[in-house]
Amino acid sequence: MWMYFIYHIRHWGRRCLKWFLMSEHIYPDPSPTAVQPLPEYVFDYYAAQSEIEGGAWTKKIPIGISLAVETEHHVYEVSKTGDGEFLISGHPEHCAKPERCRINGSTWGGSTLKLDFIGRNMFLEYVRLSDSAVLTTSKILEIYEL
């Protein structure tokens, strides 16, 4: 089976890898109540994919730099004000005016978090410092510097 897997990766690339990871070979029980632990290489795939698609490491952003983070529903302005602190605005309900926040990182839609990273095709998770509310954006489409 592994030779089949390696052959397909070599010839059809990551689409085949994604198909293989989500196929019945790994998840034999499709019932929603069955707990299926994810194999380690699934996380490796998503981590590598986030590096390919690009993003910004929050610790490497200089103080005073602003980023525009375009998601499926809103465009957020993220400005670094200090070590680990950001001003985030752009959501009509949660941060209509700039709010002091701490960015935890980005997720792939589940509970796995890539710390201190804002990545394309991922969901940004941040904590509003005024009330400690943990918020997650919709999927990030584009990131650019203002």
Give the pLDDT confidence of 32-75 residue by residue, as tens digits.
555 555 566 666 667 767 776 788 889 999 999 999 999 999 99
How many angstroms separate the Cα of 5 from the Cα of each of 37, 75, 116, 130? 21, 40, 33, 50
Closest CA to 68 of 140, 118, 121, 143: 143
Give the pLDDT confidence of 92-113 residue by residue, as tens digits.
998 889 999 999 999 888 778 8
- Whole-model pTM: value is 0.69
